Amino acid sequence: MTKRICTMQDLSCVGQCSLTVALPILSRYGIETCVLPTAVLSNHTQFKSWSYLDLTDEIPNIYREWANSGISFDGFVLGYLGKRRLMKLAEELFDRFGNEGAPVVIDPVFADDGKLYSGFDEQYVREMAKLIARADIIDPNVTEACFLTDTPYQADHGKEFAQELAVKLSQLTSATVIITGVEFDGDIGELIYSHGSCTYVMLPKLDAKYHGTGDIFTSVMSAHYFAGETLAASCLKAGQFVADCMRGTDKAHFYGVNFEKQLAK
Protein backbone atom coordinates (compact mmCIF):
# COMPACT_ATOMS: atom_id res chain seq x y z
CA MET A 1 0.00 0.00 0.00
CA THR A 2 1.10 3.58 -0.62
CA LYS A 3 2.49 5.20 2.50
CA ARG A 4 0.74 8.31 3.75
CA ILE A 5 3.00 10.84 5.42
CA CYS A 6 2.42 14.32 6.80
CA THR A 7 4.92 17.12 6.33
CA MET A 8 4.66 20.11 8.67
CA GLN A 9 6.35 23.35 7.57
CA ASP A 10 5.58 26.73 6.03
CA LEU A 11 4.41 27.36 2.47
CA SER A 12 6.05 30.00 0.31
CA CYS A 13 3.80 30.74 -2.65
CA VAL A 14 6.85 31.72 -4.71
CA GLY A 15 10.41 30.44 -4.26
CA GLN A 16 11.81 26.92 -4.13
CA CYS A 17 11.90 25.86 -0.50
CA SER A 18 9.85 24.29 2.34
CA LEU A 19 6.46 22.87 1.25
CA THR A 20 6.93 24.21 -2.27
CA VAL A 21 9.62 21.56 -2.78
CA ALA A 22 8.60 18.93 -0.21
CA LEU A 23 5.15 18.26 -1.64
CA PRO A 24 6.12 17.69 -5.29
CA ILE A 25 9.27 15.73 -4.43
CA LEU A 26 7.68 13.33 -1.95
CA SER A 27 4.65 12.88 -4.21
CA ARG A 28 6.85 12.17 -7.25
CA TYR A 29 8.51 9.39 -5.28
CA GLY A 30 5.14 7.68 -4.89
CA ILE A 31 4.29 8.75 -1.34
CA GLU A 32 0.87 10.15 -0.50
CA THR A 33 1.96 13.47 0.93
CA CYS A 34 -0.39 15.38 3.22
CA VAL A 35 0.56 18.85 4.37
CA LEU A 36 0.22 20.79 7.59
CA PRO A 37 1.17 24.37 6.62
CA THR A 38 2.28 26.46 9.58
CA ALA A 39 2.18 29.74 7.66
CA VAL A 40 1.65 31.06 4.14
CA LEU A 41 4.19 33.52 2.74
CA SER A 42 3.84 35.48 -0.49
CA ASN A 43 7.41 34.42 -1.28
CA HIS A 44 10.32 33.09 0.74
CA THR A 45 12.33 35.35 3.00
CA GLN A 46 15.35 35.76 0.74
CA PHE A 47 13.32 38.31 -1.24
CA LYS A 48 13.47 41.96 -0.16
CA SER A 49 9.99 41.78 1.38
CA TRP A 50 7.16 39.32 1.89
CA SER A 51 3.70 38.92 3.37
CA TYR A 52 3.12 36.40 6.15
CA LEU A 53 -0.08 34.70 7.31
CA ASP A 54 0.38 32.76 10.56
CA LEU A 55 -1.71 29.55 10.59
CA THR A 56 -0.83 28.43 14.13
CA ASP A 57 -4.32 29.15 15.46
CA GLU A 58 -5.91 27.11 12.65
CA ILE A 59 -3.98 23.92 13.44
CA PRO A 60 -6.23 22.83 16.37
CA ASN A 61 -9.20 23.14 13.99
CA ILE A 62 -7.40 20.98 11.45
CA TYR A 63 -6.67 18.40 14.14
CA ARG A 64 -10.34 18.34 15.14
CA GLU A 65 -11.45 17.59 11.61
CA TRP A 66 -8.72 14.98 11.10
CA ALA A 67 -9.83 13.25 14.28
CA ASN A 68 -13.46 13.34 13.15
CA SER A 69 -12.45 11.71 9.87
CA GLY A 70 -10.18 9.08 11.42
CA ILE A 71 -7.10 10.29 9.55
CA SER A 72 -3.70 8.87 10.45
CA PHE A 73 -0.19 8.86 9.02
CA ASP A 74 2.62 6.36 8.43
CA GLY A 75 5.35 8.93 8.99
CA PHE A 76 6.16 12.59 9.53
CA VAL A 77 8.64 15.06 8.02
CA LEU A 78 9.14 18.36 9.84
CA GLY A 79 10.91 21.38 8.37
CA TYR A 80 10.84 25.07 9.18
CA LEU A 81 8.55 25.77 12.15
CA GLY A 82 9.65 29.19 13.39
CA LYS A 83 7.54 29.39 16.58
CA ARG A 84 7.94 27.59 19.89
CA ARG A 85 4.18 26.97 20.16
CA LEU A 86 4.32 24.92 16.96
CA MET A 87 6.63 22.43 18.65
CA LYS A 88 3.90 21.50 21.11
CA LEU A 89 1.48 21.15 18.22
CA ALA A 90 4.01 18.92 16.45
CA GLU A 91 4.14 16.59 19.46
CA GLU A 92 0.35 16.50 19.48
CA LEU A 93 0.46 15.59 15.79
CA PHE A 94 2.68 12.57 16.50
CA ASP A 95 0.61 11.45 19.49
CA ARG A 96 -2.84 11.76 17.94
CA PHE A 97 -2.31 10.91 14.29
CA GLY A 98 0.69 8.62 14.04
CA ASN A 99 0.15 4.95 13.14
CA GLU A 100 2.09 2.47 15.23
CA GLY A 101 5.78 2.80 14.51
CA ALA A 102 5.36 5.90 12.33
CA PRO A 103 8.87 7.39 11.98
CA VAL A 104 9.51 11.07 12.62
CA VAL A 105 12.10 12.97 10.57
CA ILE A 106 13.01 16.42 11.89
CA ASP A 107 15.11 19.00 10.05
CA PRO A 108 15.57 21.70 12.73
CA VAL A 109 15.99 24.63 10.26
CA PHE A 110 17.00 27.63 12.34
CA ALA A 111 20.62 28.51 11.51
CA ASP A 112 23.49 28.31 9.01
CA ASP A 113 27.00 29.67 8.49
CA GLY A 114 27.51 30.00 12.25
CA LYS A 115 24.47 32.26 12.80
CA LEU A 116 20.83 31.97 13.79
CA TYR A 117 18.32 32.94 11.12
CA SER A 118 16.50 36.22 11.69
CA GLY A 119 13.72 35.91 14.28
CA PHE A 120 15.23 32.98 16.20
CA ASP A 121 16.74 33.08 19.68
CA GLU A 122 18.36 30.80 22.24
CA GLN A 123 15.00 29.90 23.76
CA TYR A 124 13.85 28.54 20.40
CA VAL A 125 17.03 26.45 20.22
CA ARG A 126 16.38 25.03 23.69
CA GLU A 127 12.83 24.09 22.76
CA MET A 128 14.04 22.44 19.54
CA ALA A 129 16.54 20.46 21.61
CA LYS A 130 13.54 19.03 23.46
CA LEU A 131 11.51 18.35 20.31
CA ILE A 132 14.24 16.29 18.63
CA ALA A 133 13.90 13.82 21.50
CA ARG A 134 10.69 12.71 19.74
CA ALA A 135 12.42 12.05 16.42
CA ASP A 136 13.64 8.87 14.78
CA ILE A 137 15.93 10.80 12.44
CA ILE A 138 17.28 14.34 12.73
CA ASP A 139 19.34 16.10 10.06
CA PRO A 140 20.69 19.41 11.38
CA ASN A 141 23.45 21.18 9.50
CA VAL A 142 26.76 21.82 11.28
CA THR A 143 25.66 25.22 12.60
CA GLU A 144 22.40 23.85 14.01
CA ALA A 145 24.25 20.95 15.60
CA CYS A 146 26.56 23.46 17.29
CA PHE A 147 23.67 25.53 18.67
CA LEU A 148 21.75 22.45 19.85
CA THR A 149 24.79 21.15 21.76
CA ASP A 150 26.10 24.55 22.93
CA THR A 151 29.33 24.01 21.00
CA PRO A 152 31.32 26.92 19.53
CA TYR A 153 30.99 26.93 15.74
CA GLN A 154 34.00 26.06 13.60
CA ALA A 155 33.84 27.07 9.95
CA ASP A 156 36.84 24.89 9.16
CA HIS A 157 35.94 21.56 10.70
CA GLY A 158 36.93 17.96 10.12
CA LYS A 159 35.86 14.46 11.03
CA GLU A 160 36.73 14.73 14.71
CA PHE A 161 34.65 17.87 15.21
CA ALA A 162 31.67 16.39 13.34
CA GLN A 163 31.84 13.22 15.41
CA GLU A 164 32.03 15.26 18.61
CA LEU A 165 28.83 17.04 17.59
CA ALA A 166 27.12 13.75 16.74
CA VAL A 167 27.97 12.23 20.13
CA LYS A 168 26.64 15.33 21.91
CA LEU A 169 23.42 15.22 19.88
CA SER A 170 22.95 11.55 20.75
CA GLN A 171 22.78 12.63 24.40
CA LEU A 172 19.70 14.73 23.56
CA THR A 173 17.83 12.15 21.49
CA SER A 174 17.75 8.47 20.67
CA ALA A 175 17.24 9.40 17.02
CA THR A 176 19.71 8.52 14.32
CA VAL A 177 21.76 11.68 13.80
CA ILE A 178 22.55 12.94 10.31
CA ILE A 179 24.74 16.05 10.30
CA THR A 180 24.61 17.72 6.91
CA GLY A 181 27.14 20.06 5.33
CA VAL A 182 30.17 18.26 6.79
CA GLU A 183 33.28 19.26 4.82
CA PHE A 184 36.82 17.92 4.52
CA ASP A 185 39.34 17.11 1.78
CA GLY A 186 37.36 19.09 -0.79
CA ASP A 187 34.22 17.00 -0.28
CA ILE A 188 30.89 17.80 1.36
CA GLY A 189 28.23 15.47 2.71
CA GLU A 190 26.73 13.85 5.76
CA LEU A 191 27.85 12.14 8.92
CA ILE A 192 25.39 9.43 9.96
CA TYR A 193 25.71 8.50 13.63
CA SER A 194 23.76 5.62 15.13
CA HIS A 195 24.49 3.48 18.19
CA GLY A 196 28.07 4.68 18.40
CA SER A 197 28.84 4.01 14.74
CA CYS A 198 29.81 6.70 12.21
CA THR A 199 29.24 6.57 8.46
CA TYR A 200 30.28 9.33 6.07
CA VAL A 201 28.48 9.94 2.78
CA MET A 202 30.55 12.42 0.80
CA LEU A 203 30.51 13.97 -2.68
CA PRO A 204 32.75 16.56 -4.38
CA LYS A 205 31.87 20.07 -3.19
CA LEU A 206 30.45 22.40 -5.85
CA ASP A 207 31.51 26.03 -5.82
CA ALA A 208 28.04 27.50 -5.37
CA LYS A 209 25.43 28.05 -2.66
CA TYR A 210 21.67 28.04 -3.20
CA HIS A 211 18.64 28.68 -1.02
CA GLY A 212 16.38 25.70 -0.22
CA THR A 213 18.80 22.85 -0.92
CA GLY A 214 18.47 21.58 2.66
CA ASP A 215 14.71 21.22 2.19
CA ILE A 216 15.31 19.29 -1.03
CA PHE A 217 17.85 17.03 0.64
CA THR A 218 15.48 16.18 3.51
CA SER A 219 12.62 15.47 1.10
CA VAL A 220 14.60 13.13 -1.15
CA MET A 221 16.35 11.41 1.75
CA SER A 222 13.01 10.84 3.50
CA ALA A 223 11.42 9.49 0.31
CA HIS A 224 14.12 6.85 -0.08
CA TYR A 225 14.07 6.03 3.63
CA PHE A 226 10.29 5.56 3.68
CA ALA A 227 10.71 3.27 0.66
CA GLY A 228 12.85 0.97 2.80
CA GLU A 229 16.36 1.94 1.73
CA THR A 230 19.24 2.34 4.17
CA LEU A 231 20.02 5.80 5.48
CA ALA A 232 23.44 5.73 3.82
CA ALA A 233 21.88 4.97 0.44
CA SER A 234 19.13 7.53 1.07
CA CYS A 235 21.66 10.24 1.93
CA LEU A 236 23.82 9.43 -1.08
CA LYS A 237 20.89 9.63 -3.49
CA ALA A 238 19.65 12.84 -1.85
CA GLY A 239 23.11 14.40 -2.09
CA GLN A 240 23.41 13.40 -5.73
CA PHE A 241 19.94 14.81 -6.42
CA VAL A 242 20.85 18.16 -4.84
CA ALA A 243 24.15 18.28 -6.75
CA ASP A 244 22.33 17.59 -10.02
CA CYS A 245 19.84 20.36 -9.21
CA MET A 246 22.70 22.79 -8.60
CA ARG A 247 24.40 21.84 -11.85
CA GLY A 248 21.11 22.28 -13.67
CA THR A 249 20.58 25.81 -12.34
CA ASP A 250 22.17 28.62 -14.34
CA LYS A 251 23.84 30.44 -11.45
CA ALA A 252 23.78 30.77 -7.69
CA HIS A 253 20.64 32.69 -6.85
CA PHE A 254 18.51 33.49 -3.82
CA TYR A 255 15.43 32.04 -5.55
CA GLY A 256 16.44 28.37 -5.29
CA VAL A 257 17.41 25.56 -7.64
CA ASN A 258 15.68 24.04 -10.62
CA PHE A 259 14.64 20.73 -9.04
CA GLU A 260 11.78 20.14 -11.47
CA LYS A 261 14.12 19.01 -14.24
CA GLN A 262 15.61 16.39 -11.95
CA LEU A 263 12.18 15.08 -10.95
CA ALA A 264 11.37 14.65 -14.63
CA LYS A 265 14.31 12.26 -14.89
Please report which confidence band the pLDDT of residue 68 belongs to, taking 50, 70 and 90 as the band edges. Answer: very high
If DSSP states are collapsed to H, E and C, what string results for the chain? CCCEEEEEEEEECCCCCCHHHHHHHHHHCCCEEEEEEEEEECCCCCCCCCCEEECHHHHHHHHHHHHHHCCCECEEEECCCCCHHHHHHHHHHHHHHECCCCCEEECCCCEECCEECCCCCHHHHHHHHHHHHHCCEECCEHHHHHHHCCCCCCCCCCHHHHHHHHHHHHCCCCCEEEEEEEEECCEEEEEEEECCEEEEEEEECCCCCCCCHHHHHHHHHHHHHHCCCCHHHHHHHHHHHHHHHHHCCCCCCCCCCCCHHHHHC
Does 227 score more than 90 pLDDT? yes
Residues 65/36, Cβ–Cβ less than 8 Å = no
Residue 155's pLDDT is: 85
- The verdict on pTM exceeding 0.85 is yes
Does 154 score more than 70 pLDDT? yes
The letter for the amino acid at 71 is I
CATH homologous superfamily for the domain 4-264: Ribokinase (3.40.1190.20)
Residue 2's pLDDT is: 82
pLDDT, mean of residues 250-261: 84
Please report which confidence band the pLDDT of residue 1 belongs to, taking 50, 70 and 90 as the band edges. Answer: low
pLDDT tens-place string over residues 119-147: 899 999 999 999 999 999 999 999 999 99
pLDDT, mean of residues 245-252: 85
